[in-house]
Amino acid sequence: MSGLVRIGIDVGGTNTDAALLRGRDVVATIKTATTADVTAGVASAIRAVLEGSGIGAAQVSAVMIGTTHFLNAVVEGRHLRRVGILRLCGRATHAVPPMIDWPEHLRSIVDGGAALASGGVNFDGSSIARLDTDEIRAACRKWRAAGIEAVAISSVFALVDARMEIEAARIVADAMPDASISLSHRIGRTGLLARESATILNASLHVLGQETVGAFRAAFAGLGLFCPLYLTQNDGTLMGADYAERHPVFTIASGPTNSMRGAAFLTGLNDAAVIDVGGTTTDVGMLVAGFPRVRSEGAEIGGIRTNFRVPDVFSFGLGGGSLIEVSPLAIGPHSVGFRLAEMALCFGGDTLTATDIAVAAGLVALGDPARVRHLDGAFVNAAIKRMKTDVEAVLDRMKPSAEPIPAVLVGGGSVLLEGQLQGTSVSLRPDHFGSANAIGAAIAQVSGEVDRVVSLEGTTRVAALEQIVNDARARAVEAGAVEATVTLAELEETPLSYLPGNAIRIAAKVVGELAA
Partner 1 sequence: MTYWTLTESDLDRIAIGVGILGTGGGGSPYQQMLMAKAMLRRGKRIRMIRPADLPPDAQIIGLGGIGAPTVGIEKMEEGGEGVRVLRAIEAHTGRKVDAVLGDEVGGGNGIYPMVTAAELDLPVVDADGMGRAFPEVQMTSFFVYGQASQPAALSDAEGNTLVITNAATPETLERIMRAATVAMGCTACMTTAPMTGDFVRRFGVVHTTSQAWTLGDAVLGARAAKQDPIAAVLREADGSLLMQGKVTDIERRIAGGFVRGSLTVTGLDADAGRCIKVDIQNEYLVATEGDRRLVMVPDLICIVDAETGRPIGTEEQRYGLRVAVIAIPAPPLLRTPEALRAMGPRAFGYDFDFIPFGRSAEARAVAAYTRASGTPSTPLIHSGELP
Question: Taking the CA atoms of the chain, what radius of gyration do you get in angstroms?
Answer: 24
Q: Which is nearer to partner 1, 135 or 418 (CB)?
A: 135
Q: Who contacts 1 (Cβ-Cβ below 8 Å, separation ≥6)?
A: 23, 24, 443, 513, 514, 516
User: Are the C-beta atoms of residues 411 and 278 closer than 8 Å to each other?
Assistant: yes
Return the HEC string of 382-451. Answer: HHHHHHHHHHHHHHHHHCCCCCCEEEEEECHHHHHCCCCCCCEEEEECCCCHHHHHHHHHHCCCEEEEEE
Minimum distance between the CB of residue 159 and partner 1, rounded to whole angstroms? 8
Give the nearer residue to partner 1 in terms of CB position, either 120 or 228.
Answer: 120
Q: Is the Cβ of residue 126 or residue 459 nearer to partner 1 in the bound state?
A: 126
d(CA 327, CA 125): 65
Compute the least distance from the CB of residue 154 to partner 1, in Å: 10
Nearer to partner 1, 1 or 503 (CB): 503
Number of Cβ within a 10 Å radius of residue 207: 15
Closest CB to partner 1 among residues 196, 356: 196
Nearer to partner 1 by Cβ, of 92 and 363: the residue is 92
Cα distance between residue 477 and residue 497, in whole Å: 34
Question: From CA 46, how far away is CA 58, in angstroms rounded?
Answer: 13
Binding residues (CB under 8 A) for partner 1: these are 90-97, 100-101, 120, 122-124, 126, 128-129, 156-157, 190-194, 296-297, 396-402, 453, 494-500, 503, 505
Q: Shortest approach of partner 1 to residue 198 CB, angstroms?
A: 14
Give the span between the Cα atoms of 314 and 28, in whole angstroms.
Answer: 30
Nearer to partner 1, 195 or 388 (CB): 195
Task: Pick between residue 306 and residue 447 the one whose CB is nearest to partner 1.
Answer: 306
CB 1 → partner 1: shortest distance, Å? 35
Q: How many alpha carbons lie under 13 Å from residue 305 in its C-beta half-sphere?
A: 9
Q: Which residues pair with 19 in a beta bridge?
A: 8, 29
- Contact between 18 and 53 (Cβ < 8 Å): no
What are the start-end ranges of the E strands in 103-149? 111-117
CB of 93 to partner 1, least distance (A): 4
Task: Indicate the burial class of 145 (C-beta count within 10 angstroms; 0-12, 13-18, 19 or more).
Answer: exposed
Beta carbon of residue 341, minimum distance to partner 1 (angstroms, whole number): 33
Give least dist CB 193 to partner 1, A: 7
Instruction: Report DSSP state, residue 295.
Output: P
CB nearer to partner 1: pick between 226 and 314? 314
In the complex, the smallest distance separating the C-beta of residue 267 from partner 1, rounded to whole angstroms, is 22
- In single-letter form, the type of residue at position 221 comes to A
In the complex, least distance from residue 171 CB atom to partner 1, rounded to whole angstroms:
23
E-strand ranges in 238-306 read 238-240, 272-277, 282-288, 291-292, 300-301, 304-305
Residue with Cβ nearer partner 1 (12 or 302): 302
Q: Please identify, using beta-carbon distances, which residue of 90 and 248 lies nearer to partner 1.
A: 90
**Closest CB to partner 1 among residues 191, 333:** 191
Give the DSSP per-residue string, 181-219.
Answer: EEEGGGT--S-HHHHHHHHHHHHHTHHHHHHHHHHHHHH
The amino acid that residue 497 corresponds to is S
Nearest distance from C-beta of residue 301 to partner 1, angstroms: 17
Q: How far is the CB of 503 from partner 1 (least distance, A)?
A: 7
Say how far apart CA 196 and CA 84 lie, in whole Å: 12
Strands (E), 58-200: 60-67, 83-88, 111-117, 150-155, 180-183
Least distance from partner 1 to the Cβ atom of residue 410, Å = 21
